[in-house]
Amino acid sequence: MTKNLKWLLLLLIFIALKGYAQTPLDGNWYSTGTVVIEGSTNSYLGELKLKQNGRKLTGEFNYYFRDSLFTNKITGEFDYNSRYIVIAPFPVILHSTTSTKNGVDCSMRGEFMLRISRVGSYLSGKFVAEDNYKYTCPEIAFAFEKNVDTTSNPIFEAKKVTAAAIDSLKKNDPATPTIDPIVALITKQFEERPKYVFRDLFVEEKNLDLEFIDNGAIDYDSISVFLNNKLIMKKSMLTHIPIKLKITLNDSLPYNELCMFANNEGLIPPNTATMTVIDGDNKNEIDMNSSLHSTATLKLFRRKK
């Protein structure tokens, strides 16, 4: 190989790498969107398909809500210095809509921050209603992850996972008349994610009160709670207002397992919370953190009075 040919190959590799580095947003991104309002259980299974040309962005935002798939053309801008992304307003169906056939739309814009690490690329942020809709349309928080498998469509793969999870639950309990697809999906993800046992806690009462709050800045963390591998609270956003639960321990087990499952990691990973366990007159405050790779787990041992 001649010297000139070597330099030409190096130049072509450099141009290719430079072009890739300048378009970090190209590709498919997927996440489940959480409505930022207390008590809401509806969610949006979303996919961003982005094409970047310098600062300009074009593409689609596809989301699956209740029983329907919605597709919207989108445009936006990307700031290289701050890694901040703004998506121009487009219609999003209202979170409290009961029928997608005659639902009400909200005009919402996207505000996201790009984060790239060794394990992946992420877009964390939210869709925010325009001024005319801000009092009726709450924000929707997303933590998009870039799909590195270009042969699959994440939003439809997620639908397949949900269907498989529902079929599995029906086989285990065929008498169940209806199964919430969100519950099925969360349960499936929980079963596939390893647990991280970080503490043993000894309690006296069989009936305990639990409280969960965000122990830092509100960054749209959402959690689900499992007791002995059973979902007892699905997908609630952490704020400074406590999420309250009552649980009853199973005395036939050597210990009870309480898990805080991360539905997302918010704007600032990992998913962190302070959990208060109220055991009669005793209170135990425990800082917990879960991620998309492990679930924070507490072992509860009951002392006999």
Q: Are residues 213 and 167 in the same domain?
A: no
Domain-embedded: residue 58:
yes
Q: Identify the bridge partners of residue 85 per DSSP, sorted by sequence position.
A: 78, 112
Domain-embedded: residue 204:
yes
- What pLDDT score does 7 carry? 60
What is the CATH classification number for the domain harbouring 237? Answer: 2.60.40
Into how many domains does the chain fold?
3
Q: What is the dihedral of CA 41, 44, 45, 46, to 10 degrees?
A: -150
Counting Cα atoms < 13 Å in the Cβ hemisphere of 161 gives: 17
Of 165, 191, 217, the domain-final residue? 191
Tell me the CA distances in angstroms from 164 to 142, 171, 184, 235, 271, one per residue in order: 24, 11, 9, 20, 27
Of 100, 135, 152, the domain-final residue? 152
Domain-embedded: residue 17:
no
- What pLDDT score does 185 carry? 77
Helix (H) or strand (E) holding 46: strand 43-53
Domain-embedded: residue 5:
no
- What pLDDT score does 89 carry? 92
**What are the pLDDT tens digits along the chain (305 aa)?**
565 655 655 554 444 444 445 678 999 898 888 888 876 667 888 889 999 998 999 999 988 887 788 889 999 999 988 889 999 999 898 888 877 776 778 889 999 999 887 778 889 999 998 887 777 888 999 988 887 654 445 454 545 445 555 555 555 555 554 556 667 778 888 998 999 998 899 999 999 999 999 877 776 678 899 999 999 998 787 888 888 999 999 999 999 999 999 887 776 778 889 999 999 999 999 999 898 889 999 999 998 76
Helix (H, G, I), strand (E, B) or coil at 87: strand
Q: Are residues 146 and 158 in the same domain?
A: no
Q: Are residues 184 and 249 in the same domain?
A: no
Q: Are residues 177 and 229 in the same domain?
A: no
Domain-embedded: residue 113:
yes
Domain-embedded: residue 4:
no
Q: Are residues 66 and 125 in the same domain?
A: yes
Q: Are residues 144 and 217 in the same domain?
A: no
* Boundaries of domain holding 162: 153-191
Q: Are residues 31 and 148 in the same domain?
A: yes
Q: Are residues 180 and 206 in the same domain?
A: no
Compute the 3-state secondary structure of the chain and give helix, strand, coil in percent, each to the nearest 5: 15, 50, 35
Domain-embedded: residue 16:
no
- What pLDDT score does 254 carry? 94
Q: Are residues 34 and 147 in the same domain?
A: yes
Q: Are residues 168 and 83 in the same domain?
A: no
- What pLDDT score does 59 carry? 94
- What pLDDT score does 165 carry? 55
What is the CATH classification number for the domain harbouring 137? Answer: 2.40.128.20
Of 139, 161, 191, the domain-final residue? 191
Q: Return the ∠ at Cα 64 (arms to 213 and 114), rounded to 5°.
A: 60
Q: Identify the bridge partners of residue 283 per DSSP, sorted by sequence position.
A: 278
Q: Are residues 144 and 183 in the same domain?
A: no
- What pLDDT score does 180 carry? 60
- What pLDDT score does 194 carry? 93
Q: Are residues 44 and 79 in the same domain?
A: yes
Helix (H) or strand (E) holding 13: helix 3-21
Domain-embedded: residue 131:
yes
Residues 83, 86, 92, 96, CA torsion sign: positive
Token representation of residue 275: 């959990």
Residues recorded for the chain? 305
Closest CA relative to residue 246, chosen from 205, 298, 282, 214: 205
Q: Return the ∠ at Cα 223 (arms to 222 and 229), rounded to 5°.
A: 160
Tell me the CA distances in angstroms from 206 to 203, 212, 224, 296, one per residue in order: 8, 19, 22, 22
